[in-house]
Amino acid sequence: MHIKQLYAENFRNLASVRLDDCGRFNLIFGLNGSGKTSVLEAIYTLSMTRSFRTRQMLQVIQEDKPHLLVTGKLVDSQQANQIQLGVQRGRDKSVLVKMAGQTLKSLAELSGVLPVQVLDARCFELLEGGPAVRRQFLDWPVFHVKHMAFFDVWSRYRKALKQRNALLRRGIIGDWQQFQPWDEALAEAGEKLTVLRRDQFSAFLPLFEQVYAAFDNDGKDGQKAVPSSDIQMRLKDGWDQTEGSLREVLVRQREADAKQGFTRSGPHRADIDVRCGAYPAAQVLSRGQIKSVASAMKIAQLALLANQGLDVVIAIDDLPAELDIYRRETIFRQLAEIPRAQVFVTAIDKNDLQIEGWMDTPDSYRVFHVEHGGIESTRV
């Protein structure tokens, strides 16, 4: 669904703010420290109950307040259905989520409701960061497709992994009978999880190639994009498939795992290998080229979920900071081609984006000015 109205209270420097009548494209501008990024952070919190900037939600709640609150009036992209969604995070670490007046019991119930993707300065980590960053990226579209039941499978996998690692840390070598139930549970959930990831990744790849091809701006700025044919991506499942099934690998590695004290193979070790020719892309691409690849990856994921019938949202923080004017235009034109996508983008000056020159339908976007933790709608 899309956000028609957003309200945030006690959220960083946002004491009590409201964005009314949000459009498909929403430009939020203001000086550094005014609260622009906090608005995007509130949108993500509404989607996932947590921040994309920190794991410590106490840092997000205003210091003298008992809790933060984010609510949203959500509508589908056809403006046919409407629901109210709210998230409250307490200083006592409590989490309360309500949707359509009902209290939700699990994060899984938010699957597909408000899929929010973030594009900010840290998107470099998709190529330069560790495998955990790419696993999170890999799992985002799997989580939001409800019929895939990703959250249930992942929860069972994590439980089995925790129990197996506990046995390994006890240094038990030889008494493998204790490992059998957890090896079987880990393998069963792990194989299902891998199939879910493979299916979505296979559907993602052609979309990435299509989106990334648009970033070749014919050298207008002197920095030509790397041809899409030079960028290759391969999903690494987390274990060597040539050595057999996950269960066979877990059984074979029991003794070595016990010596290390942890499970070395499985979906928790999965990764996306991104290469430019024969080399890791992060080693040979410039910063601008890396951001082009990362931007195309994020947009392709939005297109993937949109193709599967979901409305999607992207929060773009300080777009002009890393990308030239031509690539900014490419991003907006690519997003405009995803009818089910809603965009929130921040900038210091509203003229930094020249958005009115990139949109075929100027009426589809709104402009908001953030100053000293307050927000007001303004003219284009």
Pick out the residues of the known binding site.
Answer: 30-37
d(CA 264, CA 250): 9
- The β-bridge relationship of strands 312-316 and 341-347 is parallel
Q: DSSP alpha helices (H): ranges in 24-130?
A: 36-48, 125-128
3-state secondary structure of 191: helix
Cα R_g (the chain), whole angstroms: 22
Q: How far apart are the first and last CA of the chain?
A: 25
Distance between CA 114 and CA 188 in Å, rounded?
A: 30
* DSSP secondary structure letters along 277-323: TTEEHHHHS-HHHHHHHHHHHHHHHHHHHHHTT--EEEEE--GGGTS
| 6 Cβ neighbours under 8 A, 6+ residues apart | 18, 19, 22, 39, 42, 43, 46, 70, 71, 72
Residues that constitute the known binding site for ATP: 30-37
d(CA 377, CA 364): 14
Integer Cα distance of 261 and 8 in angstroms: 44
* Residues paired with residue 17 on neighbouring β-strands, in sequence order: 8
Give the type of residue at 37.
T
Nearest Cα neighbor of 6 from 67, 71, 61, 76 is 71
Q: If we measure between CA atoms, which residue out of 337, 185, 169, 174 comes closest to residue 246? A: 185
- Coil/strand/helix, residue 171: coil
Which of helix, strand or coil describes residue 377? Answer: strand
Q: Fill in the DSSP letter of residue 181.
A: H
Residues 281/86, Cβ–Cβ less than 8 Å: no
Q: Where are the alpha helices (DSSP H) in 11-87?
A: 36-48
